[in-house]
């Protein structure tokens, strides 16, 4: 682990922290922002806003972040091959600065439209980030550290969420006078990234495979690896480059049409869905409400407690992902979440009869969050980079990112209505989905631990994945799925 590698990864994941911060920042100051909407409406029209219109405006303020994310995620391929991975991250910060200005000055300008437009803009930035960062980190990391360093993306996301939850407290920046600063704070991580990234190298894979600049790629590899002998890395990249030259340009449609890419893109999309449709966003979006219903007197602090658990178990995943393997951790995470969701359902259903069930529901939520960060949280982001070679990788990130943000939007918009319909039994829906994702992962997802990008991609090229479809996991060794649960 060299200083240059730490700088490259550290600079990149500042974008991930930004994504996490903007995911969590909007929940705590809801009441003061709604009050701002009301007063602004009164100043303009001489009457207070109707409850229905206020709900619509607030829902739009929350959900437009995900709409921006969908657009950003789907646009990843337009930037990374044209401008490079590092330069794309640098350029995207212009969106963060614009969003910070729009949201930070929205109260001064008496314009809730500025706040909503700012949420959309930072959503586009975050969508781009969910493609740029895992791709760049995966390409600069040595094979032996790829999983651990890939997990840093998710660690930065959860640290960002935790910072937003703490800053959103009334006594810090969640007050009526300081909430614009809370939303405009995003210019600081953007500024830090703009300072750090110019000192970080471009992806050596991009330099060699996309730009054919072997000497530059060799120089960058020596700095990243801290050694003069980088022949094995170069040889692997050259082999991937030769393979890429034999393939035609891979479009998004080609990912679904070609038998070579159909299996890995299916795996990439389903793993992204397993992250968002696991119920984790339902817990985070409505955690304060869930804790209140469970009888917690200060639910906002319980929510921050869940954020601490979230961060701690992402660190655990960071240290075990290269030992246990991606597939194993994903299976453990899904199974554990399903168990906790069942426990949560029982606790919420019996809450009126037994007061002590409120403690069980809190334990279940903390367990749910912990198991999420062991597998389904970090792994879907970086495994996309591992399943594809350099040519189809940007298109694969665009499709996987779109799947992730779309499912995020669906849960964010739909959960409150489903919760009203199903009451205490709402998490049973997620239990069913988690079981389905577990079965898919067990039979279809290969283990990628310790394997080069080209080794993984060549298995799919040779049709190994297709042959493995009807085999048991014990026979899955041809795809490297040798970590069993």
User: For residue 462, what pLDDT is reported?
Assistant: 73
Q: What residues in the chain have per-residue pLDDT under 70?
A: 247-249, 284-289, 294, 463-485
Tell me if 300 sits within 8 A of 288, measured CB to CB: yes
pTM for the whole thing? 0.89
* C-alpha of 98 from chain center: 22
* CA–CA dist 363, 373 (Å, integer): 16
Residue carrying structure tokens 């500024």: 191
pLDDT single digits (tens) 85-102: 999 999 999 999 999 999
* CA–CA dist 241, 189 (Å, integer): 35
* CA–CA dist 370, 343 (Å, integer): 14
User: For residue 419, what pLDDT is reported?
Assistant: 79
User: For residue 479, what pLDDT is reported?
Assistant: 36
Convert 189-224 to b/e letters by CB count within 10 Å (16 or more is b): bbebbbebbeebbbbbbbbbbbeebeeebbebbbbb
User: For residue 469, what pLDDT is reported?
Assistant: 42
Sequential DSSP letters for 364-401: HHHHHHHHHHHTTTTHHHHHHHHHS-TTTHHHHHHHHH
71: left (phi over 0), alpha (psi -120 to 50) or beta: alpha
User: For residue 283, what pLDDT is reported?
Assistant: 76
Greatest C-alpha distance within the chain: 73
6: Cβ–Cβ under 8 A, 6 or more apart, which residues? none
pLDDT single digits (tens) 42-65: 999 999 999 989 988 988 998 899
User: For residue 351, what pLDDT is reported?
Assistant: 81
User: For residue 340, what pLDDT is reported?
Assistant: 94
User: For residue 241, what pLDDT is reported?
Assistant: 86
How many other C-beta atoms can be found within 10 angstroms of the C-beta atom of residue 56?
Answer: 12
User: For residue 480, what pLDDT is reported?
Assistant: 35
Per-residue CA distances from 102 to 54, 184, 191, 257, 469 (Å)? 20, 8, 16, 42, 50
* CA–CA dist 48, 61 (Å, integer): 19
Tell me what the pLDDT averaged over the chain comes to: 89
Tell me if 416 sits within 8 A of 286, measured CB to CB: yes
User: For residue 470, what pLDDT is reported?
Assistant: 42
Q: HSE, CB side, 13 Å, CA atoms: give it for residue 311.
A: 16
């Amino acid at each position: 682990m060299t200083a240059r590698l730490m700088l490259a990864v550290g600079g990149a994941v500042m974008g991930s922290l930004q994504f996490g911060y903007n995911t969590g920042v909007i929940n705590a100051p809801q009441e003061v922002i709604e009050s701002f909407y009301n007063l602004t409406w009164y100043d303009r029209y001489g009457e207070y806003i109707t409850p229905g219109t206020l709900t619509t405006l607030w829902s739009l303020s929350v959900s437009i972040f995900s709409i921006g994310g969908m657009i950003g995620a789907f646009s990843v391929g337009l930037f990374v091959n044209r401008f490079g991975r590092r330069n794309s991250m640098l350029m995207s910060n212009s969106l963060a600065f614009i969003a910070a200005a729009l949201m930070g000055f929205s109260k001064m300008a008496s314009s809730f439209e500025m706040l909503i437009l700012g949420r959309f803009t930072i959503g586009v930035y975050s969508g781009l980030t969910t493609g740029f960062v895992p791709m760049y980190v995966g390409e600069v990391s040595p094979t032996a550290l790829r999983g651990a360093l890939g997990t840093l993306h998710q660690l930065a996301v959860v640290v960002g969420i935790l910072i937003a939850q703490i800053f959103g407290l009334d006594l810090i920046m969640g007050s009526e006078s300081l909430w614009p600063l809370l939303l405009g704070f995003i210019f600081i991580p953007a500024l830090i990234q703009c300072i750090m990234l110019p000192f970080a190298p471009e992806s050596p894979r991009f330099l060699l495979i996309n730009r054919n600049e072997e000497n530059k790629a060799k120089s960058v590899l020596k700095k990243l690896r801290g050694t003069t002998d980088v022949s094995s890395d170069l040889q692997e990249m050259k082999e991937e480059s030769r393979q890429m030259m034999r393939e035609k340009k891979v479009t998004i449609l080609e990912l679904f049409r070609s038998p070579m890419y159909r299996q890995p893109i299916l795996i990439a999309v389903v793993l992204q869905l397993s992250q968002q449709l696991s119920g984790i966003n339902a817990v985070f979006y409505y955690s304060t409400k869930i804790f209140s219903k469970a009888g917690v007197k200060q639910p906002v602090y319980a929510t921050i407690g869940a954020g601490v658990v979230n961060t701690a178990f992402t660190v655990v995943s960071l240290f075990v992902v290269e030992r246990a393997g991606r597939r194993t951790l994903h299976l453990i995470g899904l199974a554990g979440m399903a168990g906790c969701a069942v426990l949560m359902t029982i606790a919420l259903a019996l809450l009126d009869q037994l007061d002590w069930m409120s403690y069980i529901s809190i334990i279940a939520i903390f367990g749910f969050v912990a198991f999420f960060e062991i597998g389904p949280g970090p792994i879907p982001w970086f495994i996309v980079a591992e399943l594809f070679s350099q040519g189809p990788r940007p298109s694969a990130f665009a499709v996987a990112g779109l799947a992730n943000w779309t499912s995020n939007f669906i849960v964010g918009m739909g959960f409150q209505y489903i919760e009203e319909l199903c009451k205490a039994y709402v998490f049973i829906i997620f239990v069913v989905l988690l079981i389905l994702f577990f079965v898919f992962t067990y039979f279809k997802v290969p283990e990628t631990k310790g394997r080069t990008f080209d080794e993984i991609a060549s298995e799919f090229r040779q049709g190994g994945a297709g042959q493995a479809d009807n085999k048991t996991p014990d026979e899955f060794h041809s795809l490297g799925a040798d970590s069993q649960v």
